[in-house]
Amino acid sequence: MKIGIIGHTGCGDYGHSLDQAFVGVEGAEIAALADPVEEGRREALQRTGAAKGYARYTDMLEREQLDIVVLATHEMSNHLAMVLAAADQGTHVYAEKPLARTPAEVDAMVEACDRAGVLLIMAHPWRGRPEIQRQAIPMIRDGGIGEPRWARMYGFGGEHGGDQWLIDLYPHFFDFLWQLFGEPSWCQAIITQDGRPARPSDRKEGLFGMGTSAGNGLWAHYQFDGFNAEFESFAGDGIENPYRIDIHGTEGTLILPGPTQDGPDIYFHPHSNPRPFDDDRWEVLAHERVTGGQKWINAHHRMARSMMDLIEGRKPEYELCHARTARRHIEMAMAAHRSHITGARVAFPFTETGNPFDTWTEEGRA
């Protein structure tokens, strides 16, 4: 299959090793790469071995007749135009997360891809990690920690504390919960600025063009059927970033460090609410012993092969994250915004298609 790559040096670059997603995968030919910055394009061509380089991704899509394009740039404000351009050429898309800034943008992408008959797949690395898909999820489903009761998700601190990464990094955890428990029933959240409830004047542009965010602290509760999940991120001192999800059951606890970590992948304790220290019953259940982002690349390769299999009519080894599922992760973030504004629970399915912070006024309660 002919593969193209879209990056943009200095504006989203090549997020989370996506330029390597199909490199070395059997049956994948890296035919071309597009980057408007000449130096960055030259380096990426060397890195990926792509046969041709383009300054404009539209030129690449029009001339190369690609089977799949990798939307590698982390800059979200460009994703909609890129996906629409790919769909217009009948090209399948493997996209960096988050897919878009709002549910409305995802809807436009899905409509275009459905009309063209092409796939739009999100590059969620946990979808391509056997430690998660073959071990952690089956263990929880099969009663390995008893009945799952609640989860606690820890986000980044420091300058990225709070709402900054809500639709970017934390959908890793949202997607994991969706795989296990399906759609949540409701969300309740509060967003803070230096400890007080955030106000419209605390709004700011999110990182990588992700749209309007606010504050430097966030607490959100998601209620599933018989299961509770809490998310927390605040500025703190920024020295340590826990970035993990803890899942507590009636007969055990799992800790899953976030996908950017180089250390162990799964920790297990046989008790439902164990001490985090001075306890030799903690056990490492899985550890892919690679560093320097290789976990991401390995996961991309598994998902790339699964995407190619799906396109060619074979059963994929790994279940992929399609655009409609990626929309749900954005809904979970936008529901937290709406809950903060209203000071109340917000039910799912979430029906708004925009970012509630875009129209938040001082009259709105928060």
Helix (H, G, I), strand (E, B) or coil at 232: strand
Q: How does 163-201 read in b/e, with b if 16+ C-beta sit within 10 Å?
A: bbbbbbbbbbbbbbbbbbbeebebbbbbbbbeeeebebe
DSSP element (H, E) containing 297: helix 294-311
Query: What is the rounded CA–CA span in Å between residue 288 and residue 298?
Result: 10
The identity of residue 312, as a single letter, is E
Phi, psi of 53 (to 5 degrees): -125, 145
Query: What is the rounded CA–CA span in Å between residue 107 and residue 64?
Result: 27
74 pLDDT higher than 70: yes
Write the burial class of residue 87 (CB in 10 Å: 0-12 exposed, 13-18 middle, 19+ buried): buried
Instruction: Round the average pLDDT of the chain to a whole number and report it.
Output: 94
Q: Residue 119's CB: how many other CB atoms inside 10 A?
A: 17
Residue 148: predicted pLDDT: 98
Distance of CA 263 to the CA centre of its chain: 20
Locus of tokens 């799949």: 68
DSSP element (H, E) containing 348: none
Q: What is the pTM of this model?
A: 0.95
Q: State the virtual CA torsion across 141, 336, 274, 136 in degrees, nearest 10.
A: 30
Q: 312 or 209, which is more confident?
A: 312
Residue 366: predicted pLDDT: 44
Find the mean pLDDT for residues 67-75. Answer: 96
| CA–CA distances in Å: residue 141 to residues 10, 137, 146, 161, 329 | 43, 6, 9, 32, 21
The domains located in the chain, with CATH, are 2-122 (3.40.50.720), 130-288+327-359 (3.30.360.10)
Q: 278 or 222, which is more confident?
A: 222
For residue 304, give the nearest of 105, 67, 136, 89 by alpha carbon. 67
- Express as a percent the part of the chain with pLDDT over 70: 99
The identity of residue 59, as a single letter, is D
> What count of Cα atoms within 13 Å lies in the side-chain half-sphere of residue 351?
2
328 pLDDT higher than 60: yes
Find the mean pLDDT for residues 309-335. Answer: 97
Residue 238: predicted pLDDT: 77
SS3 assignment for 81-149: HHHHHHHHCCCEEEECCCCCCCHHHHHHHHHHHHHHCCCEEECCHHHHCHHHHHHHHHHHHCCECECEE
82 pLDDT higher than 60: yes
Residue 138: predicted pLDDT: 98
Residue 285: predicted pLDDT: 96
pLDDT grade for 364, boundaries at 50, 70 and 90? low
Residue 363: predicted pLDDT: 59
pLDDT digits (tens, 9 = 90+) for 16-49: 899 999 999 999 999 999 999 999 999 999 999 9
Instruction: Read off the tokens for 222.
Output: 């998601």
Find the mean pLDDT for residues 285-292. Answer: 88
Q: 240 or 195, which is more confident?
A: 195
Write the burial class of residue 315 (CB in 10 Å: 0-12 exposed, 13-18 middle, 19+ buried): exposed
Residue 157: predicted pLDDT: 86
CB of 185 closer than 8 Å to CB of 227: no
CB-based contacts of 310, cutoff 8 Å, min separation 6:
119, 316, 320
Phi, psi of 101 (to 5 degrees): -90, -25
- Helix %, strand %, coil % for the chain, to 5? 35, 25, 40
Q: 277 or 89, which is more confident?
A: 89
pLDDT digits (tens, 9 = 90+) for 236-251: 877 878 889 999 999 9
Residue 150: predicted pLDDT: 97
Residue 44: predicted pLDDT: 97
